[in-house]
Amino acid sequence: MRTYTIPAAVIAGALALGLTACGSDKADSANGKLVVGATPTPAGEVLTYVQRNLAKKAGLDLEIKEFTDYVLPNTALQQGELDANLYQHTPYLEDFNKSKGTTLTAVAQVYLPPLGFYSKKTRDVTELREGATVALPNDATNEARALELLASQGVIELKKGAGVNATPKDVAKNPKHLTFKELEAAQLPRSLDDVDVAAVNNNFALDAGLSPKKDAILLENAKNNPYNNVLAVKKGNEDDPRVKKLAELLTSAEVKTFIEDKYKGSVLPVTGA
């Protein structure tokens, strides 16, 4: 599984599948070391760039522990085995707190693995034909993202307050009488021959040989996006000087340039978005 993004199909029902390089020792804060959990790509790569190029000069001793699932980085953070983590967006973090009883909070937005609309039949979502079929991810988080993206272009209008929980039932106005087809996120790239347009997660688009930057006819922007991936800590640790320093580095011009150069539009930096 390519991990340029956190697929919400996995996010919504993530199970602990195991972790890599994670010991059971508590985070070592006595000597100033900051222990940060991350999934390998892009979070681990971004943190490794910071570790190798920026941390020492900033006086930050950074240790990275990589995880291969989306549950353990949060449970380890809550239990004090990590000082911070980077891999999730705020809606997932908030849902995790509610369902698991954790007390985690975001301290900085870092990057966005953008969801986009793809089509073999049109180059503009505003030019969809009457009665066109729109394929959407059938998991709650990504379905809402897709509908919000369509609404941002005036293609549909959502009920007030639908927000991150929006489904096709929350479409208040549908002037082109679009038909919404809900599919497993992984199936969406394969649906492009059968539908007019499909909303595809970043990682599944890349797996299918699609370039978000070049091939998407509509792509999320990182500016003010609730799905930007965040640096998170256990509540009460927001003012830890080491956390503040890492947040500064992750939102620096150097990291912005690294993300732009390495991912070429497949991952978008929040800084300067």
pLDDT band at residue 163 under the 50/70/90 scheme? confident
Picking from 5, 32, 1, the residue whose alpha carbon sits closest to that of residue 200 is: 5
Cα-flanking dihedrals φ and ψ of residue 187, to 5°?
Answer: -85, -15
What's the pLDDT at 12? 40
Extract the tokens encoding 47: 């943190």
Query: Does residue 76 or residue 272 have the better pLDDT?
Result: 76
On the question of pLDDT at 165 being above 80, the answer is yes
pLDDT in tens, 81-121: 999 999 999 988 998 999 999 999 999 999 999 999 999 99
In order of their start, the domains of the chain are: 8-113+224-269 (3.40.190.10), 116-219 (3.40.190.10)
Residues 34-87 have pLDDT tens digits of 999 999 889 999 999 999 999 999 999 999 999 988 899 999 999 999 999 999
Q: What is the mean pLDDT of residues 207-213?
A: 89
- pLDDT of 17: 37
Distance, in Å, from the CA atom of 188 to the CA atom of 168, rounded to the nearest integer, reads: 17
Confidence at residue 74, expressed as pLDDT on a 0 to 100 scale = 97
Q: What is the pTM of this model?
A: 0.74
Q: Give residue 272's pLDDT.
A: 52
Q: Between residues 29 and 172, which one has the greater pLDDT? A: 172
Q: Which 3 state secondary structure label does DSSP give 144?
A: helix
* pLDDT score for 273: 47
Hey, how many other C-beta atoms are within 10 angstroms of the C-beta on 111? 26
Identify the band that residue 31 occupies on the pLDDT scale cut at 50, 70 and 90: low
Helices and strands (DSSP H and E) totals, the chain: 9, 13
How do residues 122-140 score in pLDDT, each as one tens digit? 999 999 999 999 999 998 7
